[in-house]
Structure 1
């Protein structure tokens, strides 16, 4: 991770949702709903986390047995999980 990521309240809310689903995957709109943050906040944060190697994503398979467009699924990486733990522990203390 080359650049510093500022741990804003919105970022910490998103990371908490992702950590709570780890090692599973979740999609962006579910992160929005669980964090209480709007899509215009969540999706740029997801992209930033992925760019820094803290998050990985993949497109849902085409043959999913549900209606609607494919979802992009997100998951914290091992590094992201450790980073999330340190940031969220600091959040509880301060």
Structure 2
């Protein structure tokens, strides 16, 4: 059974990075740059998203000696993860809009 995901601010920035190009395979350093999170924040989020069934992973098939670097582990949203990411970010956007709208009305009164 998939683990439920609590969509925090940190998780939402990772989901937004995936949604920049939902069909692309993304690797850790790429996601760190896109989300602004260090590895100690990013990788636990990716693990939670993977356990929830929102992200799938695979290892790059290269010869590290020839490539001159280790193989990369790639991450991509699953079809369900794509739906969930869009839904959660839309809900967050609506919540922020309501909160900011409420502040604006209160400040003008």
Q: Same fold (TM over 0.5)?
A: yes
* CA offsets 1:14-59 (integer angstroms, 9 cap, x no match): 0111121211111011111111111101001101111111000000
Q: Provide the TM-score with structure 1 as the length reference.
A: 0.90
Distance in 2 (CA, whole Å) between partners of 1:32 and 1:8 is 16
RMSD: 1.6
User: 2:11: which partner in 1?
Assistant: 11
Q: Provide the TM-score with structure 2 as the length reference.
A: 0.79
Instruction: Give, in angstroms, the shift of residue 90 of structure 1.
Output: 1.3
User: 1:36: which partner in 2?
Assistant: 36
Gaps of 5+ in 2: 96-109
Higher radius of gyration, 1 or 2: 2
Distance in 1 (CA, whole Å) between partners of 2:31 and 2:5 is 19
Asked which structure has the greater RCO (Cα within 8 Å, sep 6+), the reply is 1
The count of corresponding residues between Structure 1 and Structure 2 is 94
Distance in 1 (CA, whole Å) between partners of 2:21 and 2:70 is 22
User: 1:74: which partner in 2?
Assistant: 75
